[in-house]
Chain A
Amino acid sequence: MFGWEFPPHILGGLGTACYGITKGLSMQADMEITFVIPKAWGDEDQSFVKIIGANNTPVVWRDVPWETVKNRLGKFMNPDEYYRLRDHIYADFNYIYTNDLGCIEFSGRYPSNILEEINNYSIVAGVIARTYDFDIIHAHDWLTYPAGLHAKSVSGKPLVIHVHATEFDRSRGKPNPIVYGIEKDGMDHCDKIICVSNLTRKTVIDNYHQPEDKVVTVHNAVEPLSPEIEAIERLAGVPEKIVTFLGRITMQKGPEFFVEAATQVLKRTNHIRFVMAGSGDMLNQMIHMVADRGIADRFHFTGFLRGRQVYEMFKSSDVYVMPSVSEPFGISPLEAMQCGVPCIISYQSGCSEILNYVIKTDYWDVDAMADSIYSLCTYPGIAEFLKEEGKKEVNNIKWEYAAQKVRDIYNQLVYR
């Protein structure tokens, strides 16, 4: 499996989803998974999956003593593994900058030279594909498609690509041609495309011109909450109801619609406060907008939240709003529902396909959104109902089931 993120070092929903799928698949007794990430940090949970960091895989032959390898890579892998990988270097990559172990450095993030990093990642993939024995290749999102294709051409094994988002979602319909090219190339040459929602599947079919029978939907799921998270209490010290937006503050997530809805609600009420949690390229614009509408006294920004803070925010919320303009799946409403927070989501998000116990509006229908926020904060009947039923519903959306669907796809490819 090729992925760009793996918990605990995640920047968005991609890492969480990769973790869930891997964990779900690992519940199948005859499944063995190797997960390649650009940069291994050493604190990843390796109990059910073998993690290989591309930054620890040699692409240039260096004569390094066993002791050095043990010191340097001991916490990531068995030193013998290094030598095994080194035996499968397939070309002269001296023109690339490598360190004393012959490995390429990776940031593991989304740097400005991302295209170079993607290319390096696929060079490493060549070494890994030659070293290990496997039945199927699974690549998550466009960053890893070239690596997946490379591994496929080296090994001849079937390639599944997993579309967590497309360039059309990220750019509100104005795709970057280079990214689109990489995505299209991956989709054209793989064996099966898994999409996280029917919405994404439609985009892949329409905008990437893929045959319908090649593209299947496997909806995402959510990990059950750990007891420590369950135990978090409401932190908010204000008596008002709290309505929360949580996510990257970018065009794709529709933060301005949240501000507009908040303006509508705040004009008429005094028992509701709004919180926008997260950061992103539109944060400053949103702060200006809130100031301009004159609602800054009851509209708050928290900045970027990570790990436990996210759940503290959920637990302190009375309503969670996700007005995404185009959301391939959107895992955060599921997390909010786990915490017992009633959700309002846009029809334009993939998770609305599998959720019944949430309120759905169009992302642009600010009036309807404001109306729903008001109801959830004012009528206990509906808030209680969605809280209880939503929790029940989301507890039945398990990675185990999603992984079974993925397995069916593997079986089709392996035993054809």
Chain B
Amino acid sequence: MKKICFYFQIHQPLRLKRYRFFNIGKDHYYYDDYSNETILQQIADKSFLPANRMFLDLINLYKGRFKIAFSISGVALDQLEIYAPEVIDGLMELSKTGNVEFLSETYAHSLSSLGDPIEFQRQVKQHADKIKLLFDQEPTVFRNTELIYSDEISELVYNMGYKKMITEGAKQVLGWKSPNYVYHSETQPNLKLLLRNSGLTENITFHFSDYSWHDYPLTAEKFISWIAAIPAEEEVINLFMNYETFGNLQPSYTGIFEFMKALPRFAFENNIEFATPGEILDNYKSVGPISVPDPISWSDEERDLSAWLGNTLQRSAFNTLYGISERVRLCEDRRLKQDWLYLQTSDHFYYMSTKHFSKGESYTRFSPYPSPYDAFNNYMNVLSDFIARVKAQYPDTVENEELSSLLTVIRNQEKKIKKLEAELKSIREANVEKFVKKEEGE
């Protein structure tokens, strides 16, 4: 029996404000609250809230037969908590139905898997804790930022205890193979992989309202008939997309909500069921290994890293950022740690992309900046201030390793003092008791 696996991505970066070099050293607040708030509330109103309601209705209507999964970045959760808590309430309600799975990812929607394995593990853990706190679920399926995946990353993920992961069904990796099976990692055979069916997904995400598309209009009936026509042995159809597809990227007037509402009915008529990534990876065996020496992602035609680390601007910013990570880990200042997360969000690098020049466009889609250079300059100014703050925490002359051991000594000292104090106290108490007894005895 065929199964459709839906997973929706929710992410919004914390956009930086115009941060000029005059601000360096003086102004330590980096975010454009106004645009972050308005953008998030707009998306919540247009997309997240109606979509939450729709999916809750669908799950209740089909009594457990309709299932979906979410991957929500920590940065997005932080912002939703402040600017649109009703979205979180909706997601909590969805979680309570038991038909919704939450996936694991990096807290900051970061590229740390490519630059800093220790930070990567820390963020994944932090994100899992947050999901547990909000939705009372312990995520078992890992999904990396922008579905970035490589053999190396599979090791990292597996070593953290994950046995299930999601990535892109990139052509350069799959070749003639179909994404509609479960695979496993070449280097870690125990890590099972679920691959996105990009063709079918993009029919919804890109083509749904495209009048010039030869299959326009897309109806639920037509879409399900395509899935039904897939050979019977290809049983898992993975449709992974941005949650904003509903209502924002495809506005509600295009009929996207009606399409989604009708989809389960036609699926069930054709004997097609729904499942979450976790269930599929538990129930299906892998048909073979997938080898990915160079990282892949779900972005652009190339399905690689070029949107984030394609030019030297992006790489230099990336290297500067992760050049400080060791020092940041030694810091304990909470605000510093939070800024560290928000500065790692992959979108900051995406805004510096110059790929669109070749298409004759002068600015990047979704970018708040007029040009990639502005994006770079602004980010680097913020980063300079951040680095100065990190360095100000401890004297610059002390090397990281030395500092680390010193800090351990200091922390241990505290523990030791506490322990000794406790001992002293108990001895004193014992002495007092003895003294009292003695007195009584006399």
Q: Hey, which bits of chain A sit against chain B, CB under 8 A?
A: 264, 268, 356-357, 359-360, 367, 370-372, 374-375, 378-382, 384-386, 388-389
Contacts and interface: CB of A to CB of B under 8 A. Distances in A.
22 contacts: A268-B21, A356-B357, A356-B362, A357-B354, A357-B357, A359-B373, A359-B374, A367-B22, A370-B22, A371-B381, A372-B373, A378-B380, A379-B316, A380-B316, A381-B316, A381-B317, A381-B320, A382-B313, A382-B316, A382-B376, A385-B316, A386-B373
A356 B373 CA distance: 10
A359 to B, nearest CB: 5
B111 to A, nearest CB: 16
B225 to A, nearest CB: 45
B397 interface: no
Given A359-B371, A371-B20, A374-B21, A381 B312 contact: yes
A381 to B, nearest CB: 3
A367 B20 contact: yes
B316 A375 contact: no
Contact of B376 (A367, A370, A379, A389): A379
A264 B313 contact: no
Contacts of B380: 375, 378-379, 381-382
B318 to A, nearest CB: 9
B315 interface: yes
A15 B298 CA distance: 52
B354 A375 contact: no
B362 A371 contact: no
Interface in B300-319: 311-313, 315-317
Chain A contact residues: helix, strand, loop or mixed: helix
A360 B354 CA distance: 14
B270 interface: no
Interface string B354-388: 10010000100000001101101100110010000
Contacts of B373: 359, 372, 375, 382, 386
Interface range, B side: 20 to 34
A382 B317 CA distance: 9
B376 to A, nearest CB: 5
A381 B376 contact: yes
A375 B384 CA distance: 11
A374 B317 CA distance: 16
A384 B384 CA distance: 18
A264 to B, nearest CB: 7
A385 B310 CA distance: 12
B22 A264 contact: yes
Interface string B314-351: 01110010000000000000000000000000000000
Contact of B22 (A268, A357, A360, A384): A268
Contacts of A384: 312, 316
Nearest to A367: B20
Contacts of A356: 354, 357, 362
A372 B317 contact: no
Nearest to A376: B377
A389 B314 CA distance: 14
A348 to B, nearest CB: 15
B316 to A, nearest CB: 3
B370 to A, nearest CB: 8
A357 B384 CA distance: 24
Contact of A360 (B313, B317, B371, B377): B371
Contacts of A379: 316, 376-377, 380
Name the residue among A357, A359, A375, A388 with the largest chain B CB count within 10 angstroms.
A375
Interface string B34-48: 000000000000000
Nearest to B380: A379
A375 B320 CA distance: 14
Contact of A375 (B22, B315, B371, B381): B381
A98 to B, nearest CB: 55
